[in-house]
Each structure stands twice: as C-alpha cells, then as structure tokens.
C-alpha cells in the first residue's frame, strides 16, 4: 500500500496527489505511467507520472474524476493509502537534442507533458509549451511549465485567460514564426488528431501520447488496441507514445465513445 502525503485541488474534479513510492520514483523516466487500484476489488487505473522526487521517495499523479473509480481515488486525503501502485510501465519518451520542440497539452494532458518538457529542456532543446483548456480554471501546472520552458503560450476556448482559441492556433502561431523540429502532443484524442493534421501539413515530426485509451496496462485486456501505420499496436506495451501522423485517430475516437452511454 502507498501512502498519500499531499493533495491539491486544481479544479472541482482534478486533483494532484503526491504518493510515497520510492522505488518507482528512482526508476521512472519521462513518459512512464503507473497502474493504481483503490480497494481490493478496485478497477485498474493507468496514470502517467507527472513528477518524481527521488530524495523524498514520492511520485506525483494528476487525476480527473470521470467515473466511479477515479472519483474514489480523488476522494482520498493525505494519510490515506492507495491499495496498489505498480510501475513504472510503458516505454519512456525518446529524449535527445532536436532543436526547437513544441510541447502542447490539453486539460489534464498537461500532467504527463510536464516531465517531457523538463527532459527536453535538460537535453538542450529550445522548448515552447502550449497549454490549452476550455476556461482559465482548467489550466493546470502553468507555473511548473514556465520553469522548464523558454516560452509558454496559454490558449482558452472562452478567452478567459491567455489567448482565445484552440491549441492548434497556438501551435501554428509558433510554426509560422520559427523553425520547429519536433512537436509533442498530449490531451483529448480529438485535440491530438487536429494537432497531427496541422503538423503534417508543415512536415514536422510529431509524437502523440495515447494514454487516455489504456485500461489494464499490461497488454492482457486488449482495450488499448490502436492502428498505427496500418498495424495493430497496444498503447500500454508498445507506447504510450507513437508517431502521430501514423495513428488512426478516427478509429481511436470511435472506440473511446463505445461506453459513453454507460458513463
């Protein structure tokens, strides 16, 4: 069991949990995720590690209450224990000196983006981060992103903070003014689809993290099957990051909507 040592509310349904997990904290790299379970019969929930403190032996998870299991996790408080935290899982992000890297995140997708921004900056890249959400209250981790970014652009649908518009508008603004060598996108599937379509037009290599479709996290359930370059891939073991220009986002969106009526 893993103890929660700190909790912070980003919004009504999004919380940050700092959890004791010393072995995971030491082993994790940007892009890795964990599987958590609340209760002996709890559902397995895949969550990307947003931050890790090797000295304190903790990892940071950002959770959005969507269904019963995630709401149960969000309801825990400092001093409470998470039944299981397993990881780090998945393939780590490929980090090297690319040049100028645009990292764009939507909503809670900004949490898994943070360690990538940090690692890209440490590798000597010029990092431009684009954060997007429906409204100001849903922009998260801005202060931490500014710490590791050369520039941060904030986009909100309603114009309540930063620039009014979609994430693609913020990304294209950067592309039009300077050479971009790589784009990394994490967020809702529909957002990543349109970022991929935009960067493909400009011939910019793009990586998308598809962790939103994962369930089991070990390749056994098959729920995270996607098509990449015409071939079937499993997000949890082959990813979670893929060449965004090769991902069949329409298929992914269709599968993500399969249980909407139940949710």
Residue range 219-230, pLDDT digits in tens: 677 777 888 899
User: Is 224 labelled a binding residue?
Assistant: yes
Q: From residue 157, how far is each of 17, 43, 133, 137 by CA, in Å?
A: 27, 33, 7, 12
Q: What is the pLDDT of residues 25-43, one digit of tens each?
A: 999 999 898 999 998 888 8
pLDDT beyond 90 at 148: yes
Adjacent-strand bridge partners of 231: 228
Q: Which two tokens stand for residue 235?
A: 């997000």
**Do 140 and 232 fall within a single domain?**
yes
Residue-level pLDDT at 124: 96
pLDDT at 217 over 70: no
104 is in an annotated binding site: no
Per-residue pLDDT at 243: 92
- Do 112 and 180 belong to one domain? yes
- The pLDDT value recorded for residue 262 is 55
Say if residue 246 carries a ligand binding annotation.
no
**262 within some domain:** no
Instruction: Confirm whether residue 221 is marked as ligand binding.
Output: yes
| Together in a domain, 131 and 209 | yes
Which residues partner with 163 through β-bridges? 155
Q: How far is CA 54 from each of CA 24, 29, 63, 145, rounded to the nearest angstrom?
A: 9, 12, 21, 20
**What is the enclosing helix (H) or strand (E) of 120?**
helix 110-122
- Total number of domains in the chain: 2
CATH of the domain at 59: 2.40.30.10
Answer with the residue of higher pLDDT: 69 or 259. 69
Reply yes or no on whether the pLDDT at 214 is more than 90.
Answer: no
Q: Is 110 annotated as a binding residue?
A: no
The verdict on whether residue 103 carries a ligand-binding annotation is no
**Which residue range forms the structural domain that includes residue 117?**
100-257
């Amino acid at each position: 069991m893993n103890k929660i040592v700190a909790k912070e509310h980003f919004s009504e349904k999004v919380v940050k949990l700092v959890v004791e997990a010393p072995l995971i904290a030491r082993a994790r790299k940007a892009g890795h995720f964990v599987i958590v379970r609340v209760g002996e019969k709890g559902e397995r929930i895949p969550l990307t590690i947003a931050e890790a403190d090797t000295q304190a032996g903790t990892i940071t998870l950002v959770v959005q209450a969507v269904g019963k299991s995630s709401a149960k996790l969000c309801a825990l408080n400092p001093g409470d224990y998470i039944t299981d935290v397993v990881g780090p899982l998945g393939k780590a992000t490929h980090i090297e000196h690319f040049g100028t890297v645009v990292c764009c995140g939507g909503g809670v997708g900004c949490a898994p983006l943070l360690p990538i921004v940090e690692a890209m900056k440490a590798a000597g890249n010029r990092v431009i981060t684009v954060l997007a959400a429906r409204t100001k209250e849903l922009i998260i981790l801005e202060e931490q992103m500014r710490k590791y970014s050369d520039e941060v652009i904030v986009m909100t649908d309603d114009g309540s903070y930063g620039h009014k518009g979609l994430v693609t508008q913020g990304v294209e603004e950067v592309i039009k003014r300077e050479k971009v060598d790589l784009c990394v996108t994490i967020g809702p599937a529909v957002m990543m689809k349109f970022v991929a379509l935009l960067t493909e037009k400009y011939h910019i290599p793009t990586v998308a993290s598809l962790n939103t479709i994962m369930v089991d996290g070990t390749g056994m359930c098959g729920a995270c099957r996607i098509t990449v370059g015409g071939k079937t891939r499993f997000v949890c073991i082959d990813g979670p990051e893929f060449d965004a220009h090769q991902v069949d986002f329409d298929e992914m969106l269709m599968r993500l909507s399969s249980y909407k009526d139940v949710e």
